[in-house]
Structure 1
Amino acid sequence: MLTSTTGAAASAQPVARRWYKQLWVQVLIAMALGILIGHFFPDAGTRLQPLGDGFIKLIRMLIAPIIFCTVVLGIAKMDDMARVGRVAVKGLIYFEVMTTIALVVGLVVVNLWQPGAGMNVNASNLDTASVSKYVAQSHETGMVPFIMNIIPNTFVGSLSEGHILQVLLISVLTGCALMRFGAVGKPVIELLDIVSKVFFGMVGIVMWAAPIGAFGAIAFTVGKYGAGALLSLGNLLVCFYVTCLIFIFAVLGPVSRLCGFSLFKLMRYLRDEILVCLATTSSESVLPRMLIKMEQLGCKPSVVGLIIPTGYSFNLDGTCLYLASVTIFLAQATNTPLDLTQQIVLLGVLLLTSKGAAGVAGAAFVVLAATLSTVGSIPVASVALILGVHRLLSEGLTPTNLIGNAVATIVISKWEKALDTEQMHRVLNRE
């Protein structure tokens, strides 16, 4: 009798997954294999690009309906229109402050490190054919086109095209309308709740392919841009990675402590998502998972649904670090003098252009070209210098964007008294 009772009790306990069944372990192994294939068989590694691109497309396919369901349900269940506006305003204030700090950190480190000093590059001798499409696209960026682009041509079109801010706009409008209907809108809310669970179930299925996507993406990156790019622009890469680490631990670290949680524990909690970001160089690949994990951490769905999607356009800390670092690097490499006043002006331009190309494919590189076109002093042709290592630089900026948005969600949730602190500590402490 004692034996059977003990056995029943044991079976009731949650069974820990074996180490090789955990996603982060599988992604790490896949990344290691991808590095080996890309290094020793670069041609084969380059041909594996569709594996990484296919995984990202699968996730992107689900992003628009998931954001729509999450935001609509969060707002409809909030029952307070004023609170929706308050959360949005607080989020935008926080985003603007943190991206400004990121730009300042990037400018300070790159001026002290000077990775482009002594390169003496003549921009007129660079082959600009490969970057011409980015320069052409950059002329379409700016605040007015950006604001107009938030408004979709059709309701359904915004969902099919997957533009995050367009989806966010129609989601907010739908959620506010359902909130006004009160009890009449409950059947729609219940239906959306079921649909939301279906889409999150699909995410769970697609994430099984994450190691395959990581393997293909890393093999392609190393195979195409590997050792040669690392040697030629290694100083810039090291400078940028160090800058990202400084921002994460010297800026986001103290913010985390002020909010009463450990940044290290948060990063451990998000290790699966950080590794997938690192491998695929796309923070969008884990957006649906971030919505789930931040809710599980104790943040209210209404705040998570607004802050995470908005942060993917307005709170790109890693992208701001990239823009500041690379812009000054190109000035140093082409011997373009920039005094303190010019760099302050550059910071102001970056604050605008970093928002103006949100949602554009290859946004960081497009914004870089737009910034050089706007400033005028640094040759636009010089962007050809970093085209070969842009994907390697993305290995640093995408995880930084992810961690920044996770911290932002907790900060705004606590600011709005929408954070279950006890649950957060239980989750972070693995209790």
Structure 2
Amino acid sequence: MAGITPVAAAGPARKTPWWAELYVQVLIAIAAGALIGHFAPATGEALKPLGDAFIKLVKMIIAPVIFLTVTLGIAGMRDIGKVGGVAAKAFGYFITVSSFALVVGLVVANVVQPGAGMNIDPASLDASKVEGYATKSHDMTIVGFLMDIIPSTVGSAFVDGNILQVLFFSIPFGLALAMIGDRGDPAIKVLSAVAEAFFKLVAIFMRAAPIGAFGAFAFTIGKYGIESVISLIALVATFYITSAVFVVVVLGAICALNGFSIFKLLRYLKEELLLVLGTSSSEAALPSLMEKMERAGAEKSVVGLVVPTGYSFNLDGTNIYMTLAALFIAQALGIELSLGEQLLLLGVAMLSSKGAAGVTGAGFITLAATLQVVPSVPLAGMALILGVDRFMSECRAITNFIGNAVATLVVSRWEGALDRERLAVVLAGEPGPVAARPLEQDAD
């Protein structure tokens, strides 16, 4: 399923103690870091390596995560000739709406400027890396940039951690697996197992988020004062408001043009939205979303293609987050990005976002991937938002989930594979003309 490992419900989950919730742990870590940074600034500054170490852990798994999700997403299409029409419509929708989401994040960041006024010295983050990125930015040309996308060898893309090179290899490799049909099954099974292990590795590393958040926040407050919290709160609030407006206005308009209401769709998916909110991952609600889309009148074959591929290629919330967060970091560091650099950021974000599946923390991983190819913004600047990333993760996941629900119904309608009468009845909250199977996720 496009590199995504569905999470099947197996009955009611055991109640997790409140203190064991990652959300609570990060919140406590942020508060503790803020207190230490405020009352013992020197100690707070000394805790900086904790945040840096967590960022290195995240950076370490960027390339394989993106390779596995993109390759398996494309390989899962299989009969390219049969699904070509659906795929073309789906990807046309994905590219258009996702690109618009990136533009929205970019525009809002330039207008609101949530990071302005922090005046953080980039040299205090890592002087040597800042100088190295600055040198590369002066030497970079369009031809050089395009040539650099092609790796010298397959392995070098992963050794160097060049995300565009990883994508350059992943896309045709996924197509090759799809084209050889059943003979590619052994490779797909192996990659799927490896992908599952890497997703588990992401979850393991994210358990260290409280430690990283503690160190990063203690350093930020200790180095720059409590005033920096205001800018971080401004970033979170800006992201939530922007995402809400995007869902209601942009996705709402798309729904209206296709004959249904975004508000009725949200009500129909309320259980899944709560699940996504609680787990900060849209992956947890993937099986339920597919079944509910079928119940709403979308044809099974279309749902089976659009939903899984959308989880890798249609990430509206992640796209808004990436451009907004990247410009926030630049503004906080006092780095002026030219229009060309912002357009480059836009293009790279469109590519790198395709590796962000519905896994908790994937948006943070993808942001790291994007910043690697924007030379003037040091990757170490991500430490500035580490403390609040968990809060933005929930909004990313919910926005991504809603975006894929809308995409499935819209593409189904374009393909003539949507029972619009059943859709109207189901969204109105009525029993429906066809008996529906019980949803496993509803039991949670």
**TM norm structure 2:** 0.62
Measure the CA separation in 1 of the matches of 2:27 and 2:264.
37
Superimposed CA distance per residue, residues 149-192 of structure 1 (whole angstroms, 9 cap, x where no aligned partner): 6357624324433569xxxxxxxxxxxxxxxxxxxxxxxxxxxx
How big is the alpha-carbon RMSD for the aligned residues of Structure 1 and Structure 2?
A: 4.1
Aligned-residue offset at 1:250: 1.5
Measure the CA separation in 1 of the matches of 2:94 and 2:320.
14
- Identify which of 177, 187, 204 aligns with 1:154: 187
Corresponding position: 1:308 with 2:325? no
Residue in structure 2 matched with residue 97 of structure 1 by the alignment: 96
Residue in structure 1 matched with residue 252 of structure 2 by the alignment: 253
Gaps of 5+ in 2: 1-8, 33-68, 128-157, 178-183, 198-205, 221-228, 431-444
Superimposed CA distance per residue, residues 313-359 of structure 1 (whole angstroms, 9 cap, x where no aligned partner): 10011110011100111111111112333322221222222225658
More helix by share: 1
- SS at 2:96's partner residue? helix
Measure the CA separation in 2 of the matches of 1:236 and 1:365.
15
Runs of 4+ residues deviating >4 angstroms: 29-35, 39-43, 135-138, 227-232, 356-361
Measure the CA separation in 1 of the matches of 2:191 and 2:378.
36
Report if the CA contact (8 A) 1:354-1:367 is conserved. Answer: yes
Aligned-residue offset at 1:33: 10
Residue in structure 2 matched with residue 112 of structure 1 by the alignment: 111
Residue in structure 2 matched with residue 321 of structure 1 by the alignment: 320
Residue in structure 2 matched with residue 145 of structure 1 by the alignment: 169
Measure the CA separation in 2 of the matches of 1:244 and 1:97.
17
Report if the CA contact (8 A) 2:102-2:319 is conserved. Answer: yes
Measure the CA separation in 2 of the matches of 1:345 and 1:116.
20
Q: Which amino acid aligns with 1:284?
A: E
- SS at 1:273's partner residue? helix
Q: Which amino acid aligns with 2:269?
A: L
Distance 1:85 1:139, change over 3 A: same
Distance 1:287 1:359, change over 3 A: closer
Aligned residues: 319
Report if the CA contact (8 A) 1:237-1:393 is conserved. Answer: yes
- SS at 1:375's partner residue? coil
Aligned-residue offset at 1:372: 1.9
Measure the CA separation in 2 of the matches of 1:83 and 1:411.
19
Corresponding position: 1:411 with 2:410? yes
Measure the CA separation in 2 of the matches of 1:83 and 1:41.
49
- SS at 2:372's partner residue? helix
Corresponding position: 1:349 with 2:348? yes
Residue in structure 2 matched with residue 281 of structure 1 by the alignment: 280
Superimposed CA distance per residue, residues 367-392 of structure 1 (whole angstroms, 9 cap, x where no aligned partner): 22222221211122211111222211
- SS at 2:260's partner residue? coil
Deviates more, 1:228-237 or 1:414-423: 228-237
Q: Which amino acid aligns with 2:250?
A: V
Superimposed CA distance per residue, residues 257-280 of structure 1 (whole angstroms, 9 cap, x where no aligned partner): 001101001011111111111221
Residue in structure 2 matched with residue 185 of structure 1 by the alignment: none
Measure the CA separation in 2 of the matches of 1:417 and 1:158.
34
Corresponding position: 1:364 with 2:330? no
Residue in structure 2 matched with residue 333 of structure 1 by the alignment: 332
Measure the CA separation in 2 of the matches of 1:388 and 1:91.
35
Gaps of 5+ in 1: 1-22, 47-63, 129-134, 165-216
After TM superposition, the structure 1 = structure 2 runs for residues 159-178 of structure 1, keeping only pairs within 5 Å, are 159-162=192-195
Superimposed CA distance per residue, residues 269-311 of structure 1 (whole angstroms, 9 cap, x where no aligned partner): 1111111112211111111111111111110000000000000
- SS at 1:126's partner residue? helix
Deviates more, 1:267-276 or 1:93-102: 267-276
Residue in structure 1 matched with residue 441 of structure 2 by the alignment: none
Report if the CA contact (8 A) 2:358-2:397 is conserved. Answer: no
Distance 1:256 1:357, change over 3 A: closer
Q: Which amino acid aligns with 2:242?
A: T
Distance 1:237 1:40, change over 3 A: closer
Identity of aligned residues (%): 43
Q: Which amino acid aligns with 1:338?
A: L
